[in-house]
Amino acid sequence: MKEELKATVIEKAVLDSVYDQLVFTVEERKTTQQIQDDLRPTLTIADDVIVEYMLQKGYMLVQDDDGSPIWQMWRMK
């Protein structure tokens, strides 16, 4: 059985509109905090909701140049 996301319907809609695009994409890397900051003007979403959403959607954490974890994403141009 697939586990339900912690995200509310509204939080999921906002995250989907920004991070669930698969055509004409370029690589982008952001921390959870940067994602949270980008979304703040629209909706404040808790960091654990963002992390769970990103993992559920198959995004990978990779090492940034300084060795810290960062999300590897593919965003629309």
Q: How far is CA 77 from CA 1, 14, 46, 56, in A?
A: 35, 18, 26, 23
Whole-angstrom distance, CA of residue 17 vs CA of residue 5: 16
What CA–CA distance (Å, rounded) separates 10 from 64?
30
pLDDT, mean over the chain: 86
The residue whose two tokens read 């959403």 is 53
Read off the tokens for 65: 């140049």
Indicate the helix (H) or strand (E) that contains 54.
helix 47-56
What is the predicted pLDDT for the residue at 48?
95
- For residue 30, is pLDDT > 90? yes
Confidence of residue 40 (pLDDT cuts 50, 70, 90): very high
Q: Structure pTM?
A: 0.69
Strongest mean pLDDT among 11-15, 30-34, 56-60: 30-34
Q: What is the DSSP letter of 25?
A: E
